[in-house]
Amino acid sequence: MTKYLLAFVALCASALGGSPASIPLEARIYFANPNELVTKLGPLLGQLDVFTDGTALDGRHYLVAATTSEQLQAVMTRGLKTEVTWPSLRDKYRVMTGGRLSSDFGYFFNYYEMRDTIRHLALNYPQLVRIDSSMHTYEGRAMYCLKISDNPQTVENEPQVFINGVTHAREPMGCHACVAFATMMCRDYGHDSVVTWLVNNREIFIMPVLNADGYVYNSDVQPSYPYWRKNTNFTPPRTSGVDLNRNYGYRWGLDDNGSSPYPDDETYRGPSRFSEPETQVIRDFEAGHKFRTCMDFHTYGQYNLYAWGNTNDDPPEYAATLYPCGETLKANNGYYATGPTYRTIYPTNGNSVDWEQADTLLGGNRKFVTWAFSTEMGIYDFWYGENDPAYVDNEVAINIPNLYFLTRVSGVYLDPAGMVVNDTLTGNANGQLDPGEGANLWFKVRNRAVHALDTAKAVTAALRVSDTMVSVLTPTVSFPNIPRQSLANNGAAQFQVRCNHNATPGTNVSLRLEATCTDDNVTITQPVSYRLTVGNHPVAVDDRTPDYSRAAPAVVPMENPVRGSVRLDVTVPALQTVATVSIIGSDGSVVRRLPVRTATHQTVEWDCRNEAGKPASTGVYFARLDLPGARAIARFIVVE
Q: Domain 553-640's class?
A: mainly beta
Q: Which residues contact 324 (CB under 8 A, 6 or more apart)?
A: none
Tens-place pLDDT, residues 141-169? 999 999 999 999 999 999 999 999 999 99
Band of residue 599 on the pLDDT scale cut at 50, 70, 90: low
The pLDDT tens digits for 356-407 are: 999 888 878 888 999 999 999 999 899 999 889 999 999 999 999 999 999 9
According to the model, what pLDDT value does residue 188 have? Answer: 96
12 has a pLDDT exceeding 50: no
- The fourth-level CATH superfamily of domain 413-550 is Immunoglobulins (2.60.40.10)
pLDDT in tens, 28-64: 999 888 778 888 988 888 888 888 887 777 778 889 9
**To the nearest whole number, what is the mean pLDDT of the chain?**
88
Provide the pLDDT confidence category of residue 183 given band limits of 50, 70 and 90. very high
Is pLDDT at 99 greater than 70 in this prediction?
Answer: no
* Cα gap 341→349, rounded to integer Å: 10
Picking from 203, 205, 402, the residue whose alpha carbon sits closest to that of residue 305 is 402
Q: Read out DSSP for 515-570?
A: EEEEETTEEEEEEEEEEEETT-PPPP--PPPS--TTPPPEEEESSSSBBSBEEEEE
| Rounded distance between C-alpha atoms, residue 544 and residue 530, angstroms | 18
Asked whether residue 534 carries a pLDDT value surpassing 90, the answer given is yes
Strand order in the sheet with 61-67: 49-55, 61-67, 25-31, 82-86
pLDDT class of 4 with cuts at 50, 70, 90 = very low
* Max avg pLDDT among 15-24, 186-195, 429-438, 572-581: 186-195
For the chain, the domains span: 3-96, 111-408, 413-550, 553-640
**pLDDT class for 537, splitting at 50, 70, 90?**
low
Mean pLDDT across 549-576: 74
Closest CA to 431 of 544, 530, 593, 553: 553
Q: Which fold has domain 111-408?
A: Aminopeptidase (3.40.630)
Is residue 192 helix, strand or coil? Answer: coil
What's the CA gap between 461 and 594, in Å, rounded?
Answer: 36
pLDDT of residue 215: 97
Q: Report the DSSP beta bridge partners of residue 487.
A: 446
pLDDT in tens, 215-269: 999 999 888 889 999 999 998 766 689 999 999 999 999 999 999 999 989 999 9
State the Rg of the chain over Cα: 30
pLDDT at site 431: 87
Can 413-550 and 553-640 be said to share one CATH topology?
A: yes
**Which DSSP symbol is given to 615?**
B
574 pLDDT more than 90:
no
pLDDT at residue 601, as a whole number: 72
* pTM recorded for the entire structure: 0.78
Give the pLDDT of residue 414: 96
CATH code of the region 3-96: 3.30.70
pLDDT at position 576 is 56
Per residue in 259-305, pLDDT tens? 999 998 999 999 999 999 999 999 999 999 999 999 999 999 999 99
Q: What does the alpha-carbon distance between residue 296 and residue 178 come to, in Å, rounded to a whole number?
A: 10
